[in-house]
């Protein structure tokens, strides 16, 4: 090889590197520089050396433009510049695809409702998604801190250390205290022997644990409520069988107690069945225009005998033109439960008001009493099954603790809302809001529960 060729070969190699950079960076400036350098090199080669080097320069230029080059036949290393360009281009495409895949993965992780963090081999958090800060109520930086500095849980810290050092996964559950307590289920797993570090996924199971507690409480309460009347019935029946049946002074009293306890047992079973049908959506409620005044009138008439015994006044102040979009029997059941509840817990010689009004395209029914009122701590749970403010007094009055829960389910099924306002010594007011029915054509009357299965106060008992 001549001295001239030896001098030009390093220049060609340098030019190849420049072209490779142009392809890899894929920028206009780099392409222009590389193209200009190629032209200079091609011109110099054409003047100085043989056609052999000019073809090499052309190959470099073609590779820089991403074109297919024709193999240089007869030369063992003729494919080298073209192959280099292809490899660089393939690497660049792989890098672009990897960046796109990482962006998609990041978007998916940030879109998760579960919280996720990744730590290094020392247990320090390297990365996390957006949901984690919301789950942890963390107003401080998470990255760069150890788990025990973020969540005051020694158990979580040990789980992360176990994953990092022993490559063992762990599952645990922690409770976050605060204004809004949360229960988090956490799965901590190692990233792998080659990577080191760990990953943790945080699941919010607060509602699940609350529902489990409600279910357990429900089973316990049902067992207790059923046991009380059954025990009384069994005890007095055994006493009668033992000889008290022939005692004219004692027998009638025992029979009366058995009768009252059997009625209470029947009421409890009926309320449980009603509540079960509502919760399982088995009870189909109609959606008709219902005259609110007529429903309130029928419910109050059913309660008047009980109110008369306690010398309690039930006053209706419902305008005749208020029409709600609701189920006739369901609405009457709601009013009946609320009025019965008010009469039951209002002291003798008390007063109960039933009023209603239009409110922004809706109708609002209010049942107010001048009873002892309810403490604020009881209000959030007043509509729960079997919840009682005064357990002993409620049972003495025949309550099952399911009436207000039935009210809530009925109102929700009719697309309405129910709430309560109360304070000790100031009485209680229950508000029921339902959709207002559109204006009825002339001659068309709103529906009522008349003619349907009658609603009675005999098997209605409410909590409170």
- What topology is assigned to 288-435 in CATH? Heat Shock Protein 90 (3.30.565)
- Reported as half-sphere exposure (CB side, CA atoms, 13 A), residue 228 has a value of 18
> Whats the size of the chain, residue-wise?
464
Query: Could you give the residue range(s) of every CATH 3.30.450.20 domain in the chain?
Result: 113-204
Q: How confident is the model at residue 43 (pLDDT cuts 50, 70, 90)?
A: very low
CB 426 within 8 A of CB 444: no
For 283-309, what is the mean pLDDT? Answer: 86
The pLDDT of residue 194: 74
> What pLDDT, on the 0 to 100 scale, is given for residue 432?
93
| CATH 3.30.565.10, the chain: domain bounds | 288-435
Fold held by 209-279: Helix Hairpins (1.10.287)
Q: What is the pLDDT of residues 85-98, one digit of tens each?
A: 787 778 888 888 88
Does the pLDDT at position 106 exceed 80? Answer: no
pTM of the model: 0.52
Q: Report the candidate in 97, 439, 450, 147 with the shortest Cα–Cα distance to residue 302.
A: 450
More confident call, 237 vs 58: 237
User: Does the structure show a pLDDT above 80 at 4?
Assistant: no
Q: Who has greater pLDDT, 175 or 57?
A: 175
**pLDDT tier at 445, thresholds 50, 70, 90:** low
The pLDDT of residue 125 is 93
Residue 33 scores a pLDDT above 50: no
User: Using 50, 70 and 90 to split pLDDT, how confident is the model at 378?
Assistant: confident
Banded pLDDT at 431 (limits 50, 70, 90): very high
CATH of the domain spanning 113-204:
3.30.450.20
What average pLDDT does the segment 52-69 reach? 47
Q: Which residues belong to CATH 1.10.287.130 in the chain?
A: 209-279
Instruction: Over range 34-39, report the average pLDDT.
Output: 42
| pLDDT, tens only, 131-142 | 888 888 767 788
- From first CA to last CA, the distance across the chain in angstroms is 107
Q: Which string of DSSP letters, residue by residue, matches 324-388?
A: EEE-HHHHHHHHHHHHHHHHHHSPTT-EEEEEEEEETTEEEEEEEE-S----GGGGGGTTSTT--
* DSSP string computed for 195-262: T-SEEEEEEE-HHHHHHHHHHHHHHHHHHHHHHHHHHHHHHHHHHHHTTGGG-TTTHHHHHHHHHHHH
What's the mean per-residue pLDDT of the chain?
A: 76
Neighbours of 240 (CB within 10 A): 17
Is 76 or 17 the better-scoring residue by pLDDT?
A: 76
Most confident of 218-222, 402-406, 410-414: 410-414
348, 310 contact by CB (below 8 A): yes
pLDDT value at 175 more than 70: yes
What whole-number distance in Å separates Cα of residue 116 and Cα of residue 200? 6
Cα–Cα distances in Å, from 203 out to 173, 178, 365?
Answer: 9, 18, 41
Query: What pLDDT band is residue 456 in, cutting at 50, 70 and 90?
Result: very low
Q: What is the DSSP letter of 283?
A: S
């Amino acid at each position: 090889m001549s001295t001239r060729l030896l001098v030009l070969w390093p220049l060609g190699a340098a030019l190849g590197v420049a072209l490779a950079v142009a392809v890899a960076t894929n920028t206009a400036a780099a392409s222009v520089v590389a193209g200009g350098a190629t032209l200079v090199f091609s011109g110099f080669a054409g003047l100085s050396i043989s056609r052999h080097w000019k073809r090499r320069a052309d190959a470099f230029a073609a590779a820089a433009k991403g074109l297919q080059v024709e193999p240089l036949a007869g030369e063992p290393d003729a494919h080298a510049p073209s192959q280099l360009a292809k490899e660089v281009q393939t690497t660049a495409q792989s890098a672009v695809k990897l960046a796109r895949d990482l962006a998609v993965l990041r978007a998916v992780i940030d879109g998760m409702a579960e919280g996720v963090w990744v730590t290094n081999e020392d247990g320090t958090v390297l990365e996390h998604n957006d949901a984690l800060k919301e789950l942890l109520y963390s107003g401080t930086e998470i990255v760069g801190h150890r788990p025990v500095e973020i969540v005051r849980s020694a158990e979580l810290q040990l789980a992360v250390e176990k994953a990092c050092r022993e490559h063992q996964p762990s599952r645990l559950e922690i409770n976050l205290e605060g204004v809004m307590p949360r229960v988090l289920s956490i799965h901590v797993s190692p990233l792998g022997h080659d990577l080191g570090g760990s990953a943790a996924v945080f699941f919010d199971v607060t509602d699940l644990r609350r529902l489990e507690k409600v279910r357990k409480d429900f089973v316990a309460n049902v067992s207790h409520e059923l046991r009380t009347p059954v025990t009384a019935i069994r005890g007095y029946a055994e006493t009668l069988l033992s000889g008290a049946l022939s005692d004219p002074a004692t027998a009638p009293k025992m029979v009366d107690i058995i009768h009252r306890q059997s009625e209470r047992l029947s009421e409890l079973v009926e309320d449980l069945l009603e509540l079960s049908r509502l919760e399982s959506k088995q009870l189909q409620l109609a959606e008709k225009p219902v005259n609110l005044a007529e429903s309130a009138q029928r419910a109050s008439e059913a309660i008047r005998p009980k109110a008369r015994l306690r010398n309690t006044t039930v006053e209706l102040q419902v305008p005749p033109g208020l029409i709600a979009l609701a189920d006739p029997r369901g609405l009457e059941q709601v009013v009946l439960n609320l009025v019965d509840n008010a009469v039951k817990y209002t002291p003798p010689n008390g007063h109960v008001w039933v009023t209603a009004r239009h409110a922004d395209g809706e109708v609002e029914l209010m049942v107010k009493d001048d009873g002892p009122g309810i403490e604020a701590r009881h209000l959030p749970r007043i509509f729960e099954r079997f919840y009682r403010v005064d357990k002993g007094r409620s049972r003495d009055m025949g309550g099952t603790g399911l009436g207000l829960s039935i009210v809530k389910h009925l109102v929700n099924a009719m697309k309405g809302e129910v709430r309560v306002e109360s304070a000790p010594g100031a009485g209680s007011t229950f508000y029921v809001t339902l959709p207002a029915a559109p204006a009825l054509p002339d001659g068309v009357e709103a529906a009522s529960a008349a003619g349907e299965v009658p609603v009675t106060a005999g098997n209605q008992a409410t909590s409170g």
